[in-house]
């Protein structure tokens, strides 16, 4: 790959990351408003000129204190195994970008 093509690719990536973050932030601002309106009007599905909006009902589980205690114990065991070398890891390469 030519240097100029690589520089263009990096510029495109940087621009896409900035746009993506701005879009995520805007969605986080707008979604609760749309969701609240749909809930207020008891609407599960709403068609619009922009597309269809649907409320998806997702079960959120709450566990007993016994399960919560066991989860905390597992977290302690994980820390211990990391510290004493029993746990193993694989290094992965993630591409990170920070706008300067």
Query: Beta strands 45-48 and 51-54: pairing type?
Result: antiparallel
What mean pLDDT do residues 17-42 have? 97
pLDDT tens-digit series, residues 53-93: 999 999 999 999 999 999 999 999 999 999 999 999 999 99
Contact partners, residue 82, CB within 8 Å, separation at least 6:
none
Hey, how many other C-beta atoms are within 10 angstroms of the C-beta on 55? 13
pLDDT at 2: 93
* Residue 22, helix vs strand vs coil: helix
Tell me the pTM. 0.72
Structure tokens at 11: 């510029």
Spans of all domains in the chain: 3-84
Grade residue 48 by pLDDT with cuts at 50, 70 and 90.
Answer: very high
What mean pLDDT do residues 43-59 have? 96
pLDDT above 90 (res 37): yes
């Amino acid at each position: 790959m030519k240097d100029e093509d690589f520089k263009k690719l990096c510029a495109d990536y940087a621009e896409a990351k900035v746009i993506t973050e701005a879009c995520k932030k805007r969605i986080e601002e707008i979604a609760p408003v749309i969701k609240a309106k749909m809930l207020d009007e008891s609407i599960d599905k709403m068609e619009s000129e922009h597309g269809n909006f649907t409320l998806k009902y997702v079960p959120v589980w709450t566990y007993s204190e016994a399960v919560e205690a066991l989860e905390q114990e597992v977290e302690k065991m994980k820390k211990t195994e990391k510290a004493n070398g029993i746990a193993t890891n694989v290094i992965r390469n993630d591409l990170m970008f920070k706008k300067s």
